Structure 1
Amino acid sequence: MTDAFDEPVGIAPRGTVLVAAGRGETIDAYQRFGKRIAADGYKVRLLPDVTADVAASFAEAEKLLVDDGLPGPKVVVGSDAGALFALSLARRSAPGLDAVVLAGIPVPASAGDDLLGWDDELDARTGCPAHRGVLSSGAASPGALLSARIPIELIGYAGDVTIPTLGLHGDSDTISPLASARDSYPGRLVSITGGRHDILNDVTHRTTAATIILFLERLKLGADLPVIAAEVAA
Structure 2
Amino acid sequence: MTTSSPIALWTPAARVRGILAVVAGRGERAPVYERFGRRLSADGYTVAVFEADADAAAQWLAGVDEVPVVLIGSDTGAAAVLRVLSQGATPDGAIVAGTPVDLDGVAQPADAERTACPVHLGVLGTAEARTSAVAVEQVPAAADLAAIAVPVLAFHGSADTVSPFAEAGAVLSAVPDIELIETVDGLHDALNDQSHRSVAASIVLWLERLRSGDVHAPVVRLAAGVPAA
TM-score for both structures, normalised by structure 2 = 0.84
Paired residues for 1:153-168 under 5 Å: 155-157=140-142, 158-168=145-155
1:94 to 72, 89, 96: 89
Deviates more, 1:85-94 or 1:123-132: 85-94
Unaligned runs of 5+ in 2: 1-6
Partner of 2:4: none
Partner of 1:140: 130
C-alpha deviation, 1:109, in angstroms? 6.2
Unaligned runs of 5+ in 1: 51-56
Query: Among the aligned pairs, what percent are the same residue?
Result: 35
Partner of 2:34: 31
C-alpha deviation, 1:84, in angstroms? 1.2
1:65 to 42, 54, 61: 61
C-alpha deviation, 1:212, in angstroms? 0.6
1:206 to 197, 218, 225: 197
The answer to which structure has the higher helix fraction is 1
Kept in 2, the 8 Å contact 1:29–1:135? The answer is yes
What is the one-letter code of the residue matched to 1:103? A
SS in 1 for 2:125: helix
C-alpha deviation, 1:108, in angstroms? 1.6
Is 1:216 the equivalent of 2:207? yes
C-alpha deviation, 1:188, in angstroms? 1.0
Kindly tell me the number of residue pairs found equivalent between the two proteins. Answer: 211
2:136 to 136, 150, 175: 150
SS in 1 for 2:113: helix
Q: Deviations over 1:195-214 (max 9, x none)?
A: 10011011110001111111
Kept in 1, the 8 Å contact 2:22–2:57? The answer is no
RMSD of aligned Cα (Å): 2.3
Partner of 1:105: 99
**Quick one: distance in 2 between partners of 1:12 and 1:149?**
37
Kept in 1, the 8 Å contact 2:21–2:71? The answer is yes
C-alpha deviation, 1:123, in angstroms? 1.2
1:123 to 112, 133, 148: 112
1:174 to 161, 166, 169: 161
Partner of 1:7: 12
C-alpha deviation, 1:63, in angstroms? 2.7
What is the one-letter code of the residue matched to 1:35? R
Moved over 6 A (4+): none
C-alpha deviation, 1:171, in angstroms? 0.2
